[in-house]
Amino acid sequence: MKKILIVDDEPNIVMSLEYTFKKKNFEVYIARDGGEALHIAKEKIPDIVLLDIMMPNVDGYETLKKIKSNKSLKGIKVVFLTAKNKASDIEKGLQMGADKYITKPFSVKKLVLEINELLN
């Protein structure tokens, strides 16, 4: 069973994604900010992280940097899922090591396809 960590401070998005990925037979973990995400990632070693950028405490950029610089976590796929949709934001996210950059609002169906593609 594939493991996904959803990192977002927006409850409606979290609920929708959690429901969707559980239906697709993923083991789902939830974090509300980057600090919590890093703690869960180290403990559960997910296959993929869906990561918002704008969050309280530790933002998505800092979280990505910490994941990619950690020996046991750097192989995890990371997808930014964010409202930051300027070309410069997208370029920055991909240059920092995100495997995909998806902007909100997004199609859940398309997101699931993208995640499956990344994991196969």
pLDDT tens, the chain, 120 aa long = 999 999 999 999 999 999 999 999 999 999 999 999 999 999 999 999 999 999 999 999 999 999 999 999 999 999 999 999 999 999 999 999 999 999 999 999 999 999 999 999
Please tell me the predicted confidence (pLDDT) of residue 24.
Answer: 96
Q: 15 in helix, strand or coil?
A: helix
The owner of tokens 């398309």 is: 110
Assigned CATH class of 3-110: alpha beta
What single DSSP character describes residue 107? -
Question: Measured between alpha carbons, how far is 72 from 32 in angstroms, rounded to an integer?
Answer: 22
Please tell me the predicted confidence (pLDDT) of residue 4.
Answer: 98
Please tell me the predicted confidence (pLDDT) of residue 87.
Answer: 96
